[in-house]
Structure 1
Amino acid sequence: MVFCIRLFNAVQKGLGVEVWMVAMAPYPPLVALLARRWRAGVRYGLLAVLVMLALMPFALVGMEWEWLPWTIGAGVLVALPARVSWPLLGVVLAGTAVAGLMDGDPIGVWVWRPLAVATDALIVFSLHTISRMVMDLHAARDELATLETFRERLRMDAELRGTVGTGLRSIAGRLAAAAGAPPEDARAEVREATETARRTLAEVRSMASGYRAAGGRRAAPPVRSPRFVRVILVVVVLIQAVRAVVNVFLLAGDPRWLFLLVPLLAVAVPLLLSRPGRGRLIVLGLLVVPVAWPGSYVANVLGVVEGLWGLFVGAVLVRVRPPRSWAIAAAVLALVAVLSVTPPPVSPPAGVVAELLSTMILAWLFYSLSRLADLVVLLERTRHELAAAAVAAERVRIGRDLHDVLGFSLSAVALRGELALRLLDRDPVRAATELAALVPVLEKAEAELGSIAGGRVRLELSREVGAAVEVLEAAGVTVQAEVAAGPPPEETGTALAAVLREGVTNVLRHSRARTCSITVTGADGAVRLRIVDDGAGAPPGPGAGGVGLESLAARAAGRLSAGPRPEGGFEVVAEFPSEPAGLGGDADGVDPVAGAELAGR
């Protein structure tokens, strides 16, 4: 559009085709600069070619082309760092003014040239920059979420180690002190270790519940429109106002009109820059449209206000919905054409088209910068919302794994500690065996604690079956366990182990079972876990205490049934594919989970 304005001006002057063909030579390297991110050497090379081609018309027609080095200004702003580009833009503007003086431009034309160069260069640079910002924000929309999730993991890891880790270390210390101590001292140490295990278990459940609470989400911080967009709009609007004042002062022959136009511009400019609502738009339209036409019939000088019409059209397109906005824009553009032919002097057709294009460029600038700036704000706010959602999901994931993984270990420590207390007097040897068996349980719990916040928890099914048998027997439950399937894949094994832990914990907490059977079988591409007890209580659902067995199954794309048996007791049956297909849905609705991965990402 900018080139077309130069073209129609050339047609008015009667310049040949070869002139405007040469004059359009700097456009391809400028388009290349805008098209992609080049490395520094390529950018500088394209800029050098652009400058050389922009100076070429001098060899043919001197200044007859209405030479405006706006392509150089735009290329400098796009290709060079800000600390260099803005001073160089000042040099370009000063060079334009000097060239006009050397060519003997009339004062009005001499003032117009650098203002036009600045306007066109800022238009291209600002639209290029804001659109690139939108693309960058869109491409990096998940980066903030990743960073905030990592920070949340570090924070929660420190929190868990400071609370749960302290409890585990205290239990280990008490049990170590009990070994070899006199009976009374050993009893006191074991009792305190058992109580600490129960307190830590209560803390784990409380923390897990708190992590999963909806209040874990944080509000996104307020986001403001990019500052440089506001600056560019201010500069462009002020340039149009200054051009109007200069035209009146230098060309009208009667500067007294400034007493009317300066107050008008002083009201119109703030209205344009204040993101006007519909009422303000009406006031702005009544200020700038009738004054230029039909006001120019009263005095031709009033037509200078037409320079703000393009900005007014842009504000209408931003603030008024179609089709009304398009109707207003079409009406204003029609008035531009009318103003070019009435009142006299009448502009030639090429001049009318150039004036229409100039109005459309200003409207496009105002509309595009405003809408793209709003899009930047929306994308930035979305990035923060995604980050807040990711942090909330991570808290849910950690709370879930904290309950499902450590809850079992701490329950085992508490139960076997109580068993050791009962055996200290009757069977000291077996009591010592029970206490010694707690050491690897605690070591494993500490390792699992580190893996919960760190990323991925992996459980081995065969070990978990043995641990479940030991814990149930320590609680006085007769256990029959059978594993009739080969070692499943890691994801499936972790899923089965997690369900086994939750199921056994439910047996201990919510039933009065005296017998329990655990069987693992494999057939038809699936691995099946069956837990049957003769208790009366039912395990909790997904929202009670933990995330529930159904959640554990859904997280690994498995199937689960749980309920009372007709002949009495309770049965849990879980089935998982022996070869997981990949991502399964998260039952909590917050995160896709790979296979049986307990730890989310």
Structure 2
Amino acid sequence: MEAVGERDKLSAPTVSEQAGDAAQAPLLAPLLARGIVFAAYVAFCVIAFVYVVYAGTPFWESVQAAGYLIVVLGLQVYFSRPDTSANMPVTYAVLVTQAFLVLVPLTQFGQSWIIMPTLLAANAPLVLRARWGWVVFGLVVLLAPVLELVWTGDPVLAARALFGATVAALEIYGLTRLARLITEVHDARAELGNAAVARERMRFSQDLHDLLGLSLSTVGPKAVAARDAMATDPERARAELAEILTVSRHALADVRLVASGYRDTSLDEESRTVESLLADSDIDVRIEVSHGELPVEVRTVVVAVLRAGSASVLNKPGVNTCSITMRRVGDAVQLDIVDDGEPDDDGAPLGDTPADTAEMLMARVVALGGTLTRGPRAGGGSRLRLRVPLGEDRADERIDREEPADQVPRKAASLASWLMRAVFIGLVVNLALKLLLRDLDTITVVTSIAYGVGLLAVQLGYVSSTDRVFRPPMTYIVLAVQALLVFLPLWQFGAAWVSIPGLLAGSALLLLRPLSGWLVFTGVVAATVLALATFVGDAIVIADTIASTVSIGLVTYGLTWMARAMHQLRSVRRELARVAVADERMRFARDLHDLLGLSLSAITLKTELAQRLMTADQDRTRRELMEIVDISRLALADVRLVASGYRELSLNEESRSAESVLVAADVDVRLEMHYGELSPEVRTVLATVLREGVANVLRHSVKGARCEITVRQVDRMVMLEIVNNGVAGEPTLSPGGSGLRNLSARVERLGGELTAGLSADGTFRLSARVPA
């Protein structure tokens, strides 16, 4: 806190040694910020009381001043509370009471009390509307130079009083305002993530609606049309069934493609998979991958094109060799898939990939600013080329562009930087005014001001930078430079020495470890006192210097620490938002797999069964067709519901659906359900486990296999068990957020356990136990 009047009055924040750097624990920032602010208020009132006593005030009047200061301190703590509303009558009453306690005693204590109105100036913008708050701020600050002119008639002293009061008020306002903003931003740290997740849900919902909604909405009417045409127009019925089969297969492929777009896929793993598939088909394959780190959305599109392109090579006749190259070319990533087969005549970049899936993938490529082309190459064969420009992760860009949810922290970070600059510049201006009060030669004044400006440049350019990493030896070099700028004038000018050692003391706290920082802080204060005592014997001047050095040092630390904490909290919010978006994408991929995969597989199986039974058993065919209608309606409902959160599933409905699907796949099913009332969360998780388990049975069991599904409740535990034989290979735990691994995570969140594996008798057993 800078001087007001002839001596440098102060307010000082003190901080705990355990506070540490905000970079180490930004989420503890609210607690530390409130501690700094409270210490600043205490120091402000203590120093004010010291100057009342040093002014020779009688004992009982000093006691009266102490009472005023205690009440003012309590009122100031009220303003610093994060939940203090500016629009409440009690807040205005507190402000008026404080105005009385800091203005009226001026008639009693005079210059020794002149610092106190700065509290009123600092609180006005916090309580009153923006325009009126700063008007009151200016009027109260102007009171100091006016009183100084009345008391001394010296314009230079009045100018010092003006700048001193301004800097002091900005320090108190800045510390209070930043502490409240830090608390506000900390409490709302998940807000940005919620907004980003909401946008991802909308985008996901649109993708599902555009891609799967239309396909699924055609299945039911086609099944009804096939049923109605069976007796009168069998050929039309077969055509409708063929179309249903095509739609369901394409929709299932699209589910996998959409899910891959929301899952963080690995290019290295995908490359090895493609290499294995091509080699197993007797194709001589050569893969070169050198792409570096890619944004997630670019990576997933490259993976999707790699899958589709390799599938096209596998389906093309006459292919003997294939070369796949993935590399960075300038500011883009380029994928080339070259084969020696016959060039495609239709010019379709993705060969025989279903048209709707290819269209969606092309739209993704275009959205990223990329190109996807296919054509013949010199020497025979064809080349598929994908080129996508690189940039920062699009999800990060969307998060960083988010304005409503990030408006407060962005403004708070700007306010913190502005306040730091204003206070430090004010210190240098006050230094220049202090020099003008002394009878010094021009060279001394100019040189001292140059030292002050250099000190300010180091402070703002390095020490108080919010995005700089502090590491030795640069840290020690900066402190050494500041020490020279502080103490070199002592060697040059002696008794005329004027500097701002508090900046050096505050920098030590910021740049060094806590113990070392406090030792250097104490050493700077001691050195300053010893240097001044050599030339000045006045105890009040020495006490004033100690208070000023400690105050400026702690204010330097407090403002810089809060500014850094605000920037770090903003970074934490963005990081939490990115994590939330990544988690939500994984949830999308998981729910697509869990909720839609089985439904679409069931439609495919039942359609194939209906095709086989249409001439042999028309009644059974009609029942299968109506079940297709029901399943398609359920799948369409899942499309609408999956993006809005977890869907509450019915265990009974899922068990009946599972039985029907397994029977259609020629699996002998035995179903036993014995359980009582279950919570929606337990029902949904068990139903999801049942879906995945049945999907595994369909994928890994041969025809004619047996499957037993049992749900039973014993005391407070409910167990779902799926046992099947005829396993054609052990089911694997699917990576990437789906399959049995994903189910295990869901079950564990409910406090249960999921196990899966082959038994000694050759059966596969999937078991989930959860608290009822």
**Aligned-pair distance for 1:541?**
2.6
Alignment counterpart, residue 57 of structure 1, candidates 105, 109, 126: 105
Alignment counterpart, residue 413 of structure 2, candidates 203, 206, 226: 226
**Aligned-pair distance for 1:35?**
3.9
Q: Which amino acid aligns with 1:572?
A: L
Pair 1:42 & 2:90 matched: yes
Query: Which residue number corresponds to residue 385 of structure 1?
Result: 575
Alignment counterpart, residue 738 of structure 2, candidates 535, 542, 547: 547
Which deviates more from structure 2 when the two are superposed, residues 400-409 or residues 112-121?
112-121
Q: Which amino acid aligns with 1:126?
A: G
Query: Which residue number corresponds to residue 533 of structure 2?
Result: 341
Query: Which residue number corresponds to residue 238 of structure 2?
Result: 187
Cα distance 1:69–1:523, how it changes in 2: closer, same or farther (>3 A)? closer
Query: Which residue number corresponds to residue 583 of structure 1?
Result: none
Which deviates more from structure 2 when the two are superposed, residues 131-140 or residues 216-225?
216-225
Query: Which residue number corresponds to residue 83 of structure 1?
Result: 131
Q: Distance in 2 between matches of 1:309 and 1:74?
A: 25
**Aligned-pair distance for 1:8?**
3.4
**Aligned-pair distance for 1:131?**
1.5
Q: Which amino acid aligns with 2:746?
A: R
Query: Which residue number corresponds to residue 520 of structure 1?
Result: 711
Query: Which residue number corresponds to residue 139 of structure 1?
Result: 187
Cα-Cα RMSD:
2.7
Query: Which residue number corresponds to residue 96 of structure 1?
Result: 144
Q: Which amino acid aligns with 2:606?
A: R
**Aligned-pair distance for 1:265?**
2.9
Cα distance 1:560–1:248, how it changes in 2: closer, same or farther (>3 A)? closer
Query: Which residue number corresponds to residue 723 of structure 2?
Result: 532
Query: Which residue number corresponds to residue 58 of structure 2?
Result: 16
Is the contact made by 2:666 and 2:704 (CA closer than 8 Å) also made in structure 1?
A: yes
Cα distance 1:110–1:567, how it changes in 2: closer, same or farther (>3 A)? closer
**Aligned-pair distance for 1:346?**
1.7
Query: Which residue number corresponds to residue 271 of structure 1?
Result: 458
Is the contact made by 1:314 and 1:365 (CA closer than 8 Å) also made in structure 2?
A: yes
Aligned pairs for 1:242-253 (under 5 A) are 242-253=429-440
Cα distance 1:43–1:339, how it changes in 2: closer, same or farther (>3 A)? farther
Q: Deviations over 1:168-226 (max 9, x none)?
A: 11323432443434221221111011111011112213333442326378447499882
Pair 1:207 & 2:405 matched: no
Which deviates more from structure 2 when the two are superposed, residues 41-50 or residues 17-26?
17-26
Cα distance 1:238–1:20, how it changes in 2: closer, same or farther (>3 A)? farther
Query: Which residue number corresponds to residue 599 of structure 1?
Result: none
Q: Secondary structure at the match of 1:481?
A: strand
Q: Distance in 2 between matches of 1:562 and 1:4?
A: 70
Pair 1:417 & 2:596 matched: no
Query: Which residue number corresponds to residue 518 of structure 2?
Result: 326
Q: Which amino acid aligns with 2:442?
A: P
**Aligned-pair distance for 1:396?**
1.3
How many residues were matched structurally? 570
**Aligned-pair distance for 1:485?**
4.2
**Aligned-pair distance for 1:61?**
4.8
- Structure richer in helix, relative to its length: 1
Aligned pairs for 1:552-571 (under 5 A) are 552-556=743-747, 557-571=751-765
Query: Which residue number corresponds to residue 72 of structure 1?
Result: 120
Q: Distance in 2 between matches of 1:460 and 1:61?
A: 78
Cα distance 1:252–1:229, how it changes in 2: closer, same or farther (>3 A)? farther
Is the contact made by 1:96 and 1:113 (CA closer than 8 Å) also made in structure 2?
A: yes
Q: Which amino acid aligns with 2:256?
A: R
Q: Distance in 1 between matches of 2:557 and 2:502?
A: 10
Pair 1:286 & 2:484 matched: yes
Is the contact made by 1:107 and 1:250 (CA closer than 8 Å) also made in structure 2?
A: no
Query: Which residue number corresponds to residue 403 of structure 1?
Result: 593
Alignment counterpart, residue 5 of structure 1, candidates 27, 42, 47: 47
Aligned pairs for 1:435-450 (under 5 A) are 435-450=625-640
Q: Secondary structure at the match of 2:765?
A: strand
**Aligned-pair distance for 1:554?**
4.2
Is the contact made by 1:559 and 1:574 (CA closer than 8 Å) also made in structure 2?
A: yes
Cα distance 1:295–1:275, how it changes in 2: closer, same or farther (>3 A)? same
**Aligned-pair distance for 1:118?**
1.4
Scaled by the length of structure 2, the TM-score of the pair is 0.69
Q: Distance in 2 between matches of 1:227 and 1:546?
A: 40
Q: Distance in 2 between matches of 1:2 and 1:324?
A: 26
Cα distance 1:411–1:360, how it changes in 2: closer, same or farther (>3 A)? same
Which deviates more from structure 2 when the two are superposed, residues 439-448 or residues 257-266?
257-266
**Aligned-pair distance for 1:361?**
0.9
**Aligned-pair distance for 1:469?**
1.9
Query: Which residue number corresponds to residue 553 of structure 2?
Result: 363
Q: Which amino acid aligns with 2:441?
A: D
Is the contact made by 2:115 and 2:165 (CA closer than 8 Å) also made in structure 1?
A: no
Q: Distance in 2 between matches of 1:484 and 1:331?
A: 78
**Aligned-pair distance for 1:7?**
3.3
Is the contact made by 1:108 and 1:251 (CA closer than 8 Å) also made in structure 2?
A: no
Pair 1:33 & 2:223 matched: no
Scaled by the length of structure 1, the TM-score of the pair is 0.87
Pair 1:165 & 2:206 matched: no
Q: Distance in 2 between matches of 1:404 and 1:540?
A: 16
Q: Deviations over 1:114-166 (max 9, x none)?
A: 22211221121111111222222222222222232222222211211211222
Q: Which amino acid aligns with 1:523?
A: V
Q: Secondary structure at the match of 2:689?
A: helix
Q: Distance in 2 between matches of 1:468 and 1:242?
A: 80
Q: Distance in 2 between matches of 1:468 and 1:423?
A: 20
Q: Distance in 2 between matches of 1:247 and 1:484?
A: 89
**Aligned-pair distance for 1:318?**
0.8
Query: Which residue number corresponds to residue 492 of structure 2?
Result: 295
Cα distance 1:334–1:201, how it changes in 2: closer, same or farther (>3 A)? same
**Aligned-pair distance for 1:289?**
1.4
Q: Secondary structure at the match of 2:733?
A: coil
Q: Which runs of 4+ in 1 moved over 6 A?
A: 222-225
Q: Which amino acid aligns with 2:557?
A: Y
Identity of aligned residues (%): 31
Q: Which amino acid aligns with 1:45?
A: A
Is the contact made by 1:22 and 1:56 (CA closer than 8 Å) also made in structure 2?
A: no
Cα distance 1:152–1:58, how it changes in 2: closer, same or farther (>3 A)? same
Query: Which residue number corresponds to residue 582 of structure 1?
Result: none
Which deviates more from structure 2 when the two are superposed, residues 447-456 or residues 261-270?
261-270
Is the contact made by 1:478 and 1:514 (CA closer than 8 Å) also made in structure 2?
A: yes
Q: Which amino acid aligns with 1:283?
A: V
Pair 1:316 & 2:364 matched: no
Q: Distance in 1 between matches of 2:261 and 2:208?
A: 13
